[in-house]
Amino acid sequence: MTLAPGSTLGPYAILAELGHGGMGVVYTAQDPRLDRQVAIKVLPPDLTRDETAKQRFLPLELVRLDLQAS
């Protein structure tokens, strides 16, 4: 999935692509609920069906949750 600047993903307004690699594409986006910029990683469809890939992604999600709690 490629997201263009100005498009949306859920509540997030995509601003720019930050980078891409084997685990997906990272975008900078505006979160209107928090009124700040966030980073969003979008996994390719084949990885979302791969349990091993999901397990490798999970620590990133936990870090994100920990940062939100701080």
Task: Sort residue 10 into left (φ over 0), alpha (ψ -120 to 50) or beta.
Answer: left
36: left (phi over 0), alpha (psi -120 to 50) or beta: beta
pTM, 2 dp: 0.70
List, for residues 23-63, the tens digit of each pLDDT value. Answer: 788 899 998 998 988 888 888 877 778 788 777 766 555 44
Residue 9: closest CA among 25, 24, 31: 31
Band of residue 70 on the pLDDT scale cut at 50, 70, 90: very low
Residue 67 vs residue 40, higher pLDDT: 40
- For residue 46, the surrounding DSSP H or E stretch is helix 45-48
